[in-house]
């Protein structure tokens, strides 16, 4: 229904739950979003330049701190790139450990995301449940690496810590628990009306658009496109582990939830298989400080999608150029497409749907350009507004 | 203890602002609010609007683009207000200290009342930081009405 006047809504950069600052300018006609302008850069720290000023060893520390949720994906990508430049390969046991850590990280990241999605649609019970279960995985991380978030497992030429036999029972017990809980959540999201009403048919991204706009990761897979770096271009020990690439062809938020939940189950299976078939041996090889001249591109499937690192070395102990393309950046054009034609009240869930990093809205100012009137809606008000609409349906 | 001070120390509401951090501390702060640690049992509530908050919890180094917004969020908070810097980045900017787009730690922009070190600090440490801040408010002089 057209109201004849276009209203502009700025979003962010200050926001409630966690996520980074980002700003979106929405143009709405009545309840329908007609244009989206993302404005990023609030989080720009100049990491790529900082890479050039530090040695390769110190850069591992920096790569880890690009992102706190998928920190292991970044270090895996970084160390793989430098290992290729050096012409060394990490020992097989180290590569298995990388797979285990990567899958555990995927499980905790998806759990975190699902909790946030539940929070955005006002289903806080599910949010609290999932975050409680997520602590199981964090406990495993703490046992293996000593830290809950930045595990500092990867180093150039292998991993820094071994997974001992004594740790196995606790890891397996944690995985069993996660499997049980994820199966329960799979049942919940498919039967619970609170989720079905808010997630079905919302934030549609057609397969053709997903490919044209270069969407990555679970977003692409939820549009029915089979694409996963782990399967297409295996790294670490993924070529030795059987697993399925999960896809779903619903193209909406519900499909994205389903894909991520199924990936958690798949992650549990991969981690179990890797724990059982992990060969004995050393976990790292020594590498020289100086890296020979060359260029390399390294790819990793981070929890949010394809992550690309590019490194150029000039024969010294510091890289000449370093470039990081994170999955969220790849998903922004697709996000704009999903939001177009949707309702204002669906903005939080669609934004949260691509990635927790950008679900950043709490306070939004509505500006009517014709009448020059401004007003502000908070997140709870938005939720109430939508609840009323749901009841009228 | 006056009414103002009593109210402040019994149920401080917090607002969280990420000024350019890596999300690690942010997740740990949210984890502190979820069932395992459950900050809410102390009456501490995460608020979305700066106008409702007593404590500004800041994570991450201050980037140049976010600096003015941080000050604006702080100015929108009603008196009396406190600031907690969570994580090494928020304390000193490290490891992004020398980056061209980083202004530095939070205390280069705002007055900070409590620092919680760690990369990232565990939820227990964050709870400890907030409890120490409450203790400090209790012991401070004045009636708690702020400036």
Report the SS3 class of residue A321: strand
Q: What does the alpha-carbon distance between residue A241 and residue A271 come to, in Å, rounded to a whole number?
A: 9
Q: What does the alpha-carbon distance between residue A158 and residue A151 come to, in Å, rounded to a whole number?
A: 14
Decide if pLDDT at A24 tops 80: no
Q: Give the pLDDT of residue A320.
A: 92
State whether A67 and B36 contact (CB < 8 Å). no
Residue with tokens 């830290």: A147
Average pLDDT in the A367-375 region? 42
Nearest residue to B14 (alpha-carbon basis) of A334, A17, A254, A200 = A17
CB proximity A69 to B under 8 Å: yes
Average pLDDT in the A50-63 region? 89
Annotation: CATH topology of B12-138: Rossmann fold (3.40.50)
CB proximity A289 to B under 8 Å: no
Decide if pLDDT at A1 tops 90: no
Q: Considering only CB atoms, which chain B residues are within 8 Å of A47? A: 96, 99
Decide if pLDDT at A254 tops 70: yes
Instruction: Tell which of B13, B14, B25, B31 to mutate to test the A interface (max A CBs under 10 Å).
Output: B31
Residue A383 — very low, low, confident or very high, per pLDDT cuts 50/70/90?
low
Average pLDDT in the A55-73 region? 88
**Which is higher by pLDDT, A288 or A330?**
A288
State whether B48 and A378 contact (CB < 8 Å). yes
Nearest residue to A60 (alpha-carbon basis) of A150, A155, A144 = A155
Mean pLDDT of chain A: 83
Q: Give the pLDDT of residue B115.
A: 93
Q: Give the pLDDT of residue A154.
A: 92
State whether A65 and B69 contact (CB < 8 Å). no
Q: Considering only CB atoms, which chain B residues are within 8 Å of A67? A: 22-23
CB proximity A42 to B under 8 Å: yes
Q: What does the alpha-carbon distance between residue A72 and residue A149 come to, in Å, rounded to a whole number?
A: 9
Considering CB atoms only, which of A45, A134, A363 is closest to B96? A45
Q: What does the alpha-carbon distance between residue B20 and residue A97 come to, in Å, rounded to a whole number?
A: 31
Report the SS3 class of residue A328: helix
Compute the nearest-CA separation of A74 from chain B (Å). Answer: 12
Residue A37 tokens read as 């302008």
* pLDDT tens digit sequence for B117-141: 988 899 999 999 988 888 888 887 7
Domains within chain A, CATH numbers bracketed = 6-42+331-392 (no CATH), 47-198+270-325 (1.10.645.10)
Q: Considering only CB atoms, which chain A residues are within 8 Å of B61? A: 45
Decide if pLDDT at A347 tops 90: no
Q: Give the pLDDT of residue A385.
A: 53
Q: In this structure, how many other beta carbons lie within 10 angstroms of the beta carbon of residue B144?
A: 18
Q: Give the pLDDT of residue A76.
A: 92
Q: Give the pLDDT of residue B68.
A: 86
Percent of chain A surpassing pLDDT 90:
38
State whether A13 and B66 contact (CB < 8 Å). yes
**Which is higher by pLDDT, A105 or A335?**
A105
Who contacts A264 (Cβ-Cβ below 8 Å, separation ≥6)?
Answer: A106, A107, A110, A111, A178, A182
Report the SS3 class of residue B45: strand
Beta strands B82-86 and B55-59: pairing type?
parallel
* pLDDT tens digit sequence for A77-136: 999 999 999 999 999 999 999 999 999 999 999 998 898 888 888 888 999 999 999 999
Considering CB atoms only, which of A15, A16, A65 is closest to B95? A65
Q: Considering only CB atoms, which chain A residues are within 8 Å of B65? A: 41-42, 44
Decide if pLDDT at A371 tops 70: no
Q: What does the alpha-carbon distance between residue A148 and residue B115 come to, in Å, rounded to a whole number?
A: 20
User: What is this model's ipTM?
Assistant: 0.88
Q: Give the pLDDT of residue A15.
A: 55
- Chain A residue with the nearest C-alpha to that of B123: A148
State whether A362 and B120 contact (CB < 8 Å). no
Strand B55-59's sheet: what is its strand order? B45-47, B13-18, B55-59, B82-86, B114-116
CB proximity A170 to B under 8 Å: no
Beta strands A364-368 and A6-11: pairing type?
antiparallel
> Which of A189-203, A368-382, B18-32 is predicted with the least confidence, judged by mean pLDDT?
A368-382
Decide if pLDDT at B98 tops 60: yes
State whether B100 and A46 contact (CB < 8 Å). yes
CB proximity B99 to A under 8 Å: yes
Q: Give the pLDDT of residue A370.
A: 42
Continuous H helices in chain B: 3-10, 24-33, 64-76, 88-92, 123-139
Residue A376 — very low, low, confident or very high, per pLDDT cuts 50/70/90?
very low
Continuous H helices in A278-363: 327-339, 347-354
Residue A361 — very low, low, confident or very high, per pLDDT cuts 50/70/90?
very low
What's the farthest any 2 CA atoms get from each other in chain B?
47
**On the CB side of A212, how many CA atoms lie within 13 Å of its CA?**
6
- Decide if A52 contacts A320 (C-beta within 8 A): yes
CB pairs under 8 A between A and B: 131
Cα–Cα separations (whole angstroms), residue A363 to A14, A179, B18, B29, B102: 8, 37, 15, 20, 26
> Which of A47-61, A246-260, B130-144 is predicted with the least confidence, judged by mean pLDDT?
B130-144
Compute the nearest-CA separation of B129 from chain A (Å). Answer: 18
* pLDDT tens digit sequence for A281-305: 999 999 998 999 999 999 999 888 8
CB proximity B50 to A under 8 Å: yes
- What phi and psi, each to the nearest 5 degrees, are found at residue B83? -125, 135
Q: Considering only CB atoms, which chain B residues are within 8 Å of A362? A: 48-49
- Decide if B78 contacts B56 (C-beta within 8 A): no
What's the farthest any 2 CA atoms get from each other in chain A?
72
* pLDDT tens digit sequence for B12-62: 888 888 888 888 888 888 898 888 888 888 888 888 788 888 899 998 888
Q: Considering only CB atoms, which chain A residues are within 8 Å of B49? A: 362-363, 378
Average pLDDT in the A173-178 region? 94
Q: Give the pLDDT of residue A388.
A: 53
């Amino acid at each position: 229904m057209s109201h004849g006047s276009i209203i502009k809504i700025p979003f962010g950069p200050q926001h409630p739950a966690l996520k980074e600052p980002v700003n979106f300018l929405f143009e709405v006609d009545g309840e329908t979003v007609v244009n989206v302008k993302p404005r990023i850069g609030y989080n720009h720290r100049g990491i790529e330049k900082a890479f050039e000023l530090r040695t390769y060893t110190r850069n591992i520390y920096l790569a880890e701190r690009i992102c706190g949720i998928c920190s292991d994906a970044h270090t895996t990508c970084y160390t793989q790139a430098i290992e290729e430049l050096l012409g060394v390969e990490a020992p097989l046991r180290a590569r298995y450990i990388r797979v285990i850590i990567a899958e555990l990280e995927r499980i905790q990241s998806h759990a975190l995301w699902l909790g946030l999605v539940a929070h955005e649609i006002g289903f806080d019970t599910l949010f609290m449940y999932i975050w409680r279960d997520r602590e199981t995985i964090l406990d495993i991380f703490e046992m293996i690496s000593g830290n809950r978030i930045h595990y500092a497992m990867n180093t150039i030429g292998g991993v820094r810590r071994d997974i001992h036999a004594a740790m196995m029972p606790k890891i397996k017990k944690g995985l069993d628990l996660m499997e049980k809980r994820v199966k329960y959540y799979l049942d919940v999201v498919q039967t619970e009306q609170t989720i079905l009403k808010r997630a079905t048919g919302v934030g549609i991204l057609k397969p053709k658009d997903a490919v044209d706009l270069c969407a990555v990761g679970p977003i692409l897979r939820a549009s029915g496109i089979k694409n996963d770096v782990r399967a297409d271009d295996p790294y670490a020990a993924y070529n030795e582990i059987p697993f399925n690439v999960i896809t779903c062809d619903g193209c909406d938020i519900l499909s994205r939830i389903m894909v991520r939940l199924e990936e958690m189950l798949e992650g549990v299976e991969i981690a179990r298989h890797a724990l059982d078939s992990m060969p004995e041996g050393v976990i790292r090889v020594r590498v020289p400080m100086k890296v020979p001249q060359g260029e390399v591109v390294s790819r990793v499937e981070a929890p949010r999608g394809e992550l690309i690192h590019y490194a150029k070395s000039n024969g010294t102990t510091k890289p000449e150029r370093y470039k990081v393309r994170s999955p969220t950046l790849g998903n922004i054009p697709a996000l704009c497409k999903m939001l177009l034609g949707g309702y204002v009240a669906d903005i939080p869930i669609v934004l949260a749907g691509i990635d927790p990093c950008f679900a950043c809205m709490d306070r939004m100012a509505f500006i009517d350009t014709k009448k020059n009137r401004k007003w502000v809606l908070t997140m709870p008000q938005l939720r109430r507004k939508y609840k009323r609409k749901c009841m009228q349906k | 203890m006056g009414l103002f001070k009593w109210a402040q120390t019994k149920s401080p509401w917090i607002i969280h602002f990420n000024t350019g951090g890596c999300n690690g501390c942010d997740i740990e702060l949210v984890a502190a609010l979820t069932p395992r640690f459950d900050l809410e049992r102390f009456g501490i509530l995460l608020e979305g609007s700066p106008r409702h908050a007593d404590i500004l919890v800041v994570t991450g180094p201050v980037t140049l683009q976010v600096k003015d917004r941080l000050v604006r969020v702080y100015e929108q908070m009603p008196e009396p207000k406190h600031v907690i810097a969570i994580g090494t980045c928020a304390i000193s900017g490290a490891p992004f200290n020398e980056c061209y787009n980083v202004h530095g730690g939070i205390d280069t922009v705002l007055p900070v009342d409590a620092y919680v070190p760690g990369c990232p600090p565990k939820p227990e440490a964050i709870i400890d930081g907030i409890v120490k801040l409450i203790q400090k408010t209790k012991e401070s002089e004045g009636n708690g009405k702020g400036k």
